[in-house]
């Protein structure tokens, strides 16, 4: 879980860097050119299939873990239960599977919106400097003018924020890396990416909804 989780964090960083091109005020040119590169490059193809596999593996292991741990907990619940935590957010830490499930549902909807459209849907084309490109930018504009899609994206990013703030530092602990000198730094990095990545993603639908 720790290795797949950290790989997915890496993926998020790269994905965010690409998507931030949507904030450029160029009618979508940079984004559409980038989209074409991403859908045609064989290297990206290999990496993206690896990525799908790791997401499914991570989700499968996570859900399996959830059931295992629920069984270990037993049928009788505490009448009063307070979960305190040290150096992590106790809400996030004790709801990783639910937060993950929210992310999984989000991924399904998100892939249906954009990835499926690129592969099998009807995407209009646009010509830049004599080359034709599929204009995914128009799809993005259309999706993000729908308040429900925008709200759901923001909610999912909140879930991702919690999943990452606990998950990033937790992965290091699972790998046996806990050190008085480095662990505070790792926890700090986890908090920073746990805030910056989700905000970075959420800015895009919000920008389109309110400013376009």
Binding site for another protein (CB under 8 A): 65, 68-69, 71-74, 76-88, 90, 93-94, 96, 166, 169-170, 173-178, 180
Give, in degrees to the nearest 5, the angle at Cα 61 between 152 and 114: 35
Single out the residue of 34, 12, 40 nearest to residue 22, CA to CA.
34
* CB hemisphere CA count around 114 (13 angstroms): 18
**C-alpha to C-alpha distance for 162 and 116, rounded to whole angstroms:** 28
Question: Could you give the string, one character per residue 95-124, with x where binding to ligand HEM holds by CB under 6 A and - elsewhere?
Answer: -xx--xx-xx--------------------
3-class SS of residue 128: strand
**C-alpha to C-alpha distance for 61 and 104, rounded to whole angstroms:** 13
Of the candidate spans 113-121, 150-158, 168-176, 177-185, the one that interacts with ligand HEM by CB under 6 A turns out to be: 168-176
**C-alpha to C-alpha distance for 154 and 170, rounded to whole angstroms:** 24
Q: Which is nearer to another protein, 5 or 200 (CB)?
A: 5
Contacted entry of ligand HEM, another protein, none for residue 12, CB cut-off 5 to 8 Å set by kind: ligand HEM
CB of 73 to another protein, least distance (A): 5
Q: Which residues bind ligand HEM (CB under 6 A)?
A: 1-2, 5-6, 8-9, 12, 58-59, 62-63, 65-66, 96-97, 100-101, 103-104, 163, 167-168, 170-171, 174
């Amino acid at each position: 879980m720790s290795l797949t989780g950290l790989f997915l964090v890496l993926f998020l960083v790269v994905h965010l860097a690409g998507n931030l091109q949507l904030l450029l005020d160029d009618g979508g040119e940079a984004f559409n050119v980038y989209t074409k590169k991403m859908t045609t490059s064989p290297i990206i193809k290999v990496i993206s299939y690896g990525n799908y596999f790791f997401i499914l593996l991570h989700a499968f292991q996570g859900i399996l873990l959830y059931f295992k741990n629920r069984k270990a907990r037993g049928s009788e619940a505490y009448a009063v239960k307070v979960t305190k935590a040290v150096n992590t957010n106790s809400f996030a830490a004790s709801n990783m599977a639910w937060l993950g499930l929210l992310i999984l549902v989000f991924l399904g909807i998100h892939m249906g919106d954009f990835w499926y459209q690129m592969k099998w849907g009807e995407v209009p084309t646009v010509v830049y400097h004599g080359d034709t490109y599929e204009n995914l930018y128009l799809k993005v504009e259309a999706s993000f003018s729908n308040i429900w899609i925008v709200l759901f994206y923001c909610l999912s990013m909140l879930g991702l924020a919690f999943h990452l703030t606990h998950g990033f530092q937790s992965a290091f602990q699972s790998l046996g890396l806990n050190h008085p000198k480095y662990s505070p730094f790792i926890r700090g990095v986890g908090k920073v990416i746990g805030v910056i990545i989700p905000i970075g993603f959420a800015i895009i639908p919000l920008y389109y909804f309110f400013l376009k």
